[in-house]
Every structure is written in structure tokens, then in C-alpha cells.
Structure 1
Amino acid sequence: MATERADLPLLRPMGVIERYMVARSQLGIYQKVAVTARYQCKDTSTLKSRLYAALAIVVSKHSVLSATAVDVDSKTPSFARLPYIDLDQVVTFNEIDTLDDVDGQFSIIDRFLEEEHTRQWDLRPALPLWRIHVFQRPGDSSRFILSYFFHHALGDTKSALVFQEAVEAALNAGSDTQSTSRIPTPTDLPLLPPLDDIPKASPPAGQSGASGELSGLWTGGVQSLPVDIRLRSLWLSAEQSTRLAQQCKKNGVSVTAALQTMLAAAVFQQIPENYTTVKTSIPVSLRGWLPSPITAESIGVFVDTFPETYHRGPFSWEEAKRSKATIDEVVQNQCGHGLIQKLSRVQDVKAEVDEAMGHPRSASFEMSNVGKLGPLQSGKDYQIESLLFSQSAGAMSAALKVSIVSGRDGRLTLAFSWQEGVVEDGFGEKVVQEFGRILERET
């Protein structure tokens, strides 16, 4: 649905990445990101009013949460300020049979995420660029699940952790409740600048640019529409998550490097022998290297990407060390390989999409590890327990996306998502199973 300007006050034009994110959702290429949190609490009897009060606090502190997208079908879309947010239009409450994963699986949440990640984002001027779904189980007043979906033009996944922690803090801030669903928006809080207007957001000269064609590269099926999502989550126990961290420390590698290398080995087990190479696309958060006003608590799109390549072979810690060296180089350079520069060269996204359909994908899989939260604390009325990070597959993305996060309970979770028809039936499930076997063997 096209978004009209209406009479909303403009905040600023969208930056390069933000414009691209809006265009690709309008074209059905990629839709949304989510971070789902399982909360423990003392009582859910007043959850709706407490949550609405908490959201009012969070919205008052982050300007982009009260922004909407306007002129989205033009070449110069902008953010505009909503005069208020009607939370009844963006927050839904649902009942489900269980709030627990079983044996590392959570099928009821997986099916919900599949549907929501497939659903096209409705860009209307009356609504912000985020939605919340709350799940409760009848008779259980001590827990609930809060699934936060957002348009990628609003923020990166680090921003989603900022949001969830801000909601958690606001829920614990006091006993005030919200008597109405309509909350005010901050009129004097400026929107943070786009990444392309921030110094240090670009890679050094000569570092950006595409790598050459790789021999024997597997990237799944060609780029195509429509994008129907399939998703499978994997919930590690706290004990297995701890063993993984210990083995990584023992072998001198990061958890991200180990998981990437394990995933590459799992993918090789499911593709024909004539494919000898897989290539990853890895997002990296830039916010820790950016100057003021960007901070660790900022909500916005502050990311770059970089590639990594693996050749056919079983998992080894030596290969994981090689991956760590690649990540270390990115950290040392404080940038990836120039996502802004790449997208700046795209003059017409629709023309690019039309040209790309039917051509091979550029990567085999994309792995994004958004990090972890601190441990559980005593004395909190509301507290995040487990987390699950998930995202839509993309018509012009890697064949497989793997999204990783760890909650306060110490459990590492992964969401595997792929576009139906891009890989063979059962491929995704087999990769998850093989990945689980490698993880169990190595930890």
C-alpha cells in the first residue's frame, strides 16, 4: 500500500540504507525482523495496562519509534512524525497452549514467525514502523512472550535488543498503568542522522567492492519472487550454551566464528559433491565505532557487511580460527566492505530487482549473531528470560539466513529461515539436524 504524506511534520529524508529497506519491502523482496522475548514476571493480571505505560516511556525516549514512512513510492522517501500512537493498532494479545520450547524446538512460535515474516509490511502514515505480539497461556500468570517486529528502515537488530531492554526497564520502573491506548509522541526529540551522514561510517579507500567469482560455489536456487518463508528455530540448553562458550575459549575462537564454521560444514553435508565452496554474508554493527550522537542505546540502522568463504571439508577448530581472523580484521578496521557504497550505486531499485530475477544469488548463507544480554537478576518484577532473533528470507539474499542471540537465561538460540523453493524440500530441516549433531559432538 502506498503511503501518502498526509499532514505529518517531516523529520528528515531517509538515508541510503533506509531508502533501500523501504523499496525492497514495497517490492516484496524482504519484509521484517523480529526479536522475541520470553519474560518472567510476578503477575500478568495488569499486563496490558503496564505494557502500554512502559511503551509510552520507551517511545518518549526514542524518536524513530514515533516516526512513519512517507512518499515511499518516490525516489526520496522521508520519515515523518506521528502526532500520537494508538497502541491498540500495533499491539496484539494472543493465547497459546504453551510458552515452552521442548527438546530444542518451539513449533508453535516457528509457525507464527513464518506467517509474520512472510506478511508484507503495511506502510500506512497512521502507524509506526513496529508491531508487538504478546502471547499468554491461560492459567499461567508468571510468564508471557513478547514478539517485537520492526521494519528494517527503523533499525538494525542491535536496536531490537535496545528496545526489548528498554521495555523491560520501563515495566520495572513503577506501578503506573496506562488508562488509554493512545500515547503522545515526543515533539522536540530529533531523529538520529542516517549512517551516510555520520563520519567514520565508510570503509577505507580500496576496501569496498565485490569479490571475484568463486569456483564450485553453491548459492541455492536463483533469485525469485514471491517470497514465502520457512523457519525453524533451535533452542540450546543453558548447559550446552555454556559448553560451547568453554570450547570456544579453549580453542581460542569466538562463538560467532565457531558457529559459522559449523554451519558451513552442515551445509556441505546437504549439497551435491560438485559444489566445493560456500560463501557467507555477515552483518557487523558499527555503533561502537561511531561518534556522538550514536551510542550503544541508539535505535537506527548502523550496520555494514563483510563476506567469508569456506571450502568443502568437515568442521575443524583450525578453520574456525581462520574465520575468527577474518572477523578480527573487520573489528580492527572498524568497518565492513562498504554496504553504503554498494547501495549508493543503485539508482532504481525496481529496475535492479527486475534485472536480478532469475540470476544466481551472491551468497550461500547469512549468519548474524546479535550478541547476548546480561544474566538474570533477583528482585525484578519483570525480566527477560529467553530470546529468539529471526528475520524474513529475501528474494535477493543468501539461500539460508541464520539469526543468533542469547538471553538472560544463558541459552543461545538460532532461527534458520529460507525462501520456499530456493532449496529442496527438507533441506532446511536437514541442515538444522546436521548442525545440531556437529554442535553436540564438538561440545
Structure 2
Amino acid sequence: MSRAGPDSVLRPLGIFEKFMVTRSQLGVYHKVGVTAFYSFDRKTTTHSLRSVLYSALALVISRHANLSITPVDPDSSEPYFARLPYVDLDEVVTFTEIDDVLDGQGRHHPVLDGFLEREHSRPWDLEVPLPLWRLHVLQQPGDESRFVLSYMFHHAVGDTKSALVFHQALENSLNNPTETEGPSKVVSPNLPLVPPLDAFVDTTRVVDGNGSEEPDGLWTGARQFLPVRTKCRSLRFGANDSAEFLRMCKGHGVSLTAAIQAMLVMALFEKVPSEYTALKTDCPISLREWLPPPVSALSMGIFVDTFLETHRRSDFLVDGAKGPFAWVHDAQRTKRRIDRAVRERRGDGLLEKLVYIKDVRALTMDKMGQPRVTSLELSNVGKLPSLKEDRRAMIQGLVFSQSAGAVSGAIKVSCVTGRDGRVVLGFTWQEGVVEDVFMDGLVEEFQAILDQDLQCFQKTPMN
């Protein structure tokens, strides 16, 4: 495949897009992934799964310009997106048979976690003219009625909502099959790119340094360093526990995001030494529902902001001691912060802050060896809408995961809810920032808090 020519120039990279490309070029952060478990009625087609998927992907690519673009001159001061002449699916789609890939062990899925670790540690080569996404088709030997699609993408071409858009579009295409063999080379559509977020945000707006101060006694794991090797562990709630957890959140007047963050912070305080009395969290929020056309719920792009919060160990004590629902006060505070973000239609103004960084590369490298700013990052992408009827191809469970970052919180937690009703958390961390045994203990502590409080909630009169 030859590099896209000048006639395929689309537009310069926006502020977020340049930031994401620079990070990946430095090896600081690699990719985002949303993995979907599909059920598939093989009796409805005589074509191979490869052919069926290729036909569906051709349709999805024809409707989304971001799936056929590549950055040109990524290390320059003025990189731009160019349209590739075509997408060679043989270059971006892989088929792999893995034993036990479809079924985890209760709440955990070590086989899938191992796969995600490898992929999230794999860097991008932006000198190769390929689109900024890969699709991994994972099959269990002898089982053709189910498969796993792991969609890995560069953050420059989308936020995680964009990945849900991809999976929904692919699911729809799989349910509207053609009788022709799917092509391996798909001609890129002549579609414009949606403008970057900076086209819709007043980047001259003054933002305060909310959350930028470092509190006393802050824990943020090991200092920032390269290279990055990602470690991964997923945690799947049962369908019944997920439903009860949502009822418990409602009963306490908090959102799922606020509750999970507070419980994670509470669990983390249990695992770090007692001299650490503060933790700082970073939580993204989606802006797309407040943006004007052409941005829509089906757009692919980066349309997010973030907000920081500081949490004190003393906030999790009730009358000086720990007990059931000790996280609720902290969760209610976060819920108020989320409500404020909704009212203001913004977070702390991450994009506006990036405008004033003259040299992202130099600033990033200057941070190596320095303490991290945050302890924990929680991203909750939400859930897919339910289907009214069964279809031949259906998404069941979902797993949201992302690469660890050399310049980010010590621990990343990514949350999504599948159509099976199960809330799933993807824990990722950089090897050497925290130890694996520490993370095992953190996940176990979080599970213990969840289980204890679900039992208490089910026994309370308010329930």
C-alpha cells in the first residue's frame, strides 16, 4: 500500500488529536479497546465468518471517515489527516483461535486479560500507511455460534463512545447481510471528517487550576517513567449483582460512576500505607450531546473533558470508624460535581489547558522521573441500548480497557455495561508503577466492599 497522496489531505489535526499522536509517538500511551462478545446464528448464512465480517466492515467503513484515515508528518508542528485510497482488511483484521476465550472464571477472565495485556502494550507505527484501528476476531476452537471482537484504536481517531458507535454499526451490518463475498480491500469513502473539538469550544476561555494543587499525604504510585508495559485485569459483576448495584446507587441518590469511584478510592485507601491520607482522581465526561451538528451520537471523534477530585482518608469514616456504606458521602460529593459538569456542559477545561502548551513533546519528557499528578482514573462509557428482538448477530457482554500511561494516574479503571446487564471493570496499570500483588489486593478489597454493602442494602428497610 502506498502512502496517501496530497490530493487526499483532509484537515489538520486538532488540539486533542495532536496531543494523542505525540503521546503515542513517545510511547507514553498506546491505545483504547472495547471488546464485545457476540452470539451468531450460523444457520443464517453459508458464507465463512471472515466473509460475513468483511462484508459488514465494508459497509461500516463506507459510513465513517475516521476508519480510513492516517496522520501525515506526525512528528511535525503541523500534522494533518489524509484519506487512504483504500483499507486492506487483511492488514487490520486478525483471526485467532484461543482456548477458553469465550468463558471466564466467574468474575474474572484471565485468558482475555492476557490477550488485552499484549495488545495494549503494542505500540503504533505511524510511518506505516494504515488506518488507526485493528480488529481482533477471537474464536474458541469448535464453537462457531459465538466469537469475540476486540476493537483496538488510536485515541486520535476517537473517544470510547466512538468505539460503541463502531460496534453498534458493525452489529447492524451483520444483521443486514449481502449475498456477495466480502472484499478484502475497501475503497475509502469520500466523506468529510467531523471537525475537532476545538472548533466548538472557546479555547481562549480562562480556566482555573481546579484540582492542580497537590494535597499533603497524596499517594500516586511510582514516579513517571518509560517504557510502558501494560498489565490488565478485568472484573465482571454478575447480572443480578449489577442490577442490585444500580438499585443501591439509586437508593443513595448517586450515579453508577460516582459509586464505583468512591468504592475504588475506599479500597485503595485500605491498600496504601496509613501515612497516605489523600488520593486524587481523574474522571472523563462526554461532551458530544451538547455539541452542535455535524457532531451527533453516531459521530467518531474525541469529544471529552475531564475533572479532578481530591479524596481524604477521613471522608470514609463514620463516627470515627469504617462501616457499611462508608463510601456514600464521597459518592454524593462526586455526584454533585457531575451534576455541575452537566449544568456547565464542561469539566475542568482540559482542552483549554492544552492550548497553552507550546511543546507537548518537551513537556512530556520533562515529566519523566517526576511524581504523578493523580492516583486513579475512572472512565465509564455507559452501556449499549437494548434490542427489541433477537437478531442473528447480537452483542452480549462488553469489556472496556486501555493502555497504561507513563504520564497519568497510577491506576486506570474502565467501566462499561453490556447488553447482558453485567457491569465490567477493566483495571490497567504500568508494570513497575504498582506491583501485581498490590493490584490483586485492590481488586479483592473492592469486591469485598461491593459484596458487603450489597448484602446490607438487601436487608435495609429502604429496600
Q: TM-score, normalised by structure 1?
A: 0.96
Query: Structure 2 matches for 1:1-400, cutoff 5 A?
Result: 6-7=5-6, 9-43=8-42, 46-98=48-100, 99-187=102-190, 189-198=191-200, 200=201, 205-207=206-208, 211-312=212-313, 313=316, 314=322, 315-400=326-411
Identity of aligned residues (%): 51
Superposed displacement of residue 213, structure 1: 2.0
How far, CA to CA, are the matches of 1:348 and 1:207 in structure 2? 21
Q: Please give the alpha-carbon distance, in whole angstroms, between the structure 1 residues aligned to 2:435 and 2:182.
A: 51
Per-residue deviation at 1:175? Answer: 3.8
For structure 2, the residue ranges without an aligned partner over 5 or more in a row are 317-321, 455-463
Alpha carbons 2:52, 2:182 under 8 Å: kept: no
For 2:261 and 2:19, locate their aligned partners in 1 and report how far apart those are by CA, in whole Å. Answer: 27
Alignment RMSD (CA, Å): 1.7
The counterpart of 1:432, out of the listed 420, 439, 443, is 443
User: Does 2:420 align with 1:409?
Assistant: yes
Residues 83-138 of structure 1 deviation map (CA, whole Å, 9 limit, x = unaligned): 11110000000001121111111111101100110111121453101000001112
Distance 1:159 1:30 in 2: 18
Structure 1 residues not aligned, in runs of 5+:
none
SS at the partner of 2:295? coil
Q: How many matched pairs?
A: 439
CA distance in 1 between partners of 2:193 and 2:34 (Å): 23
Q: Deviations over 1:50-86 (max 9, x none)?
A: 1111111111111111111110111111100011111
Q: 1:303 to 1:178 in 2, by over 3 A?
A: farther
Aligned mates of 1:341, 1:210 — CA distance in 2: 15
Change (3 A) 1:183 1:206: closer
398-407 or 432-441: bigger deviation: 432-441
Question: Structure 2: which amino acid aligns with 1:115?
Answer: R
Aligned to 2:158, the other structure's residue is in SS state coil
Which amino acid in the other structure matches residue 222 of structure 1? R
Per-residue CA deviations over 1:311-353 (Å, capped at 9, x if unaligned) read: 1135332221111111111111100111112211222222112
Which residue number corresponds to residue 457 of structure 2? none
Cα gap change, 1:140 to 1:32, in 2 (>3 Å) = same
Residue type of the alignment partner of 1:102: Q
Relative to structure 1, the CA distance from residue 141 to residue 322 in structure 2 (aligned partners, 3 Å threshold; closer, same or farther) is same
Query: What is the CA distance between 1:354 and its match in structure 2?
Result: 2.0
